[in-house]
Amino acid sequence: MTQPNPPGDALTNPQQQALLAAARSAQLKAYAPYSQYQVGAAVLDEQGRIHAGCNVENAAYPEGLCAEAAALSAMVLAGSTRALAVLVVGNGGKNKSAWTTPCGGCRQKLREFGAPTMPILAANDAELGPRYTLAQLLPESFGPDHLGTA
C-alpha cells in the first residue's frame, strides 16, 4: 500500500512512484550470491533525475558494495551532488516483511549529499513502508559544513 505524503512535502507522489520503480528495477540486478539479500536504491537529484544502484557482493565479504553507495555514485557520475530523496527496497532476507533502512556507513554517505530533512523511504518486495528523514536516521551528524566546504 502506498502511504500518502506528509503535508508540505516536496516529494510528489509521481516522484515517489518513480523512485520505487527505479529501485525495484535496480534490485532485480543485485549481485548478492552470499547473503541472498537483494537491495535496490534510488536517489532523486535536484534536477529531478533519478539514479539507481544495487548491492554488489564479493567473495571477500567486506568488499561488498551497498545499493545506496552505488546509487550515489551514479548520481555523482551524472553531474549532481545534491540528493533530495532516497528510496531503498530490500527483500528482507529471512524476514520478508522487514524494512531495509540504510546501514550506518550509507547514512553517512547520504549525509554528504542530502539535507537533514531529506526523506528516506523504505520498501520491501510487497509495499512501500515507513519513511524517515536523514536527521532521524543519523542525528547530530558530521558533514561537509564542519569542514567549511558546504
Q: One of 63, 68, 112, 140 is an active-site residue; which one?
A: 68
Of residues 13 and 127, the one with the C-beta less far from ligand THU: 127
Contact 108, 120 (CB under 8 A): no
Of residues 7 and 133, the one with the C-beta less far from ligand THU: 133
Of residues 102 and 129, the one with the C-beta less far from ligand THU: 102
The answer to whether 68 is a known catalytic residue is yes
Distance from C-alpha of 147 to C-alpha of 92, rounded to nearest angstrom? 37
Residue 13, Cα to own-chain centre: how many angstroms?
Answer: 17
Q: Using only C-alpha atoms, what is the Rg of the chain?
A: 15
The residues of the shown chain that bind ligand THU, judged by CB under 6 A, are: 32, 35, 37, 39, 55, 57, 64, 66-68, 88, 100, 102-103, 106
Fill in the amino acid letter for 40.
G
Catalytic residues: 68
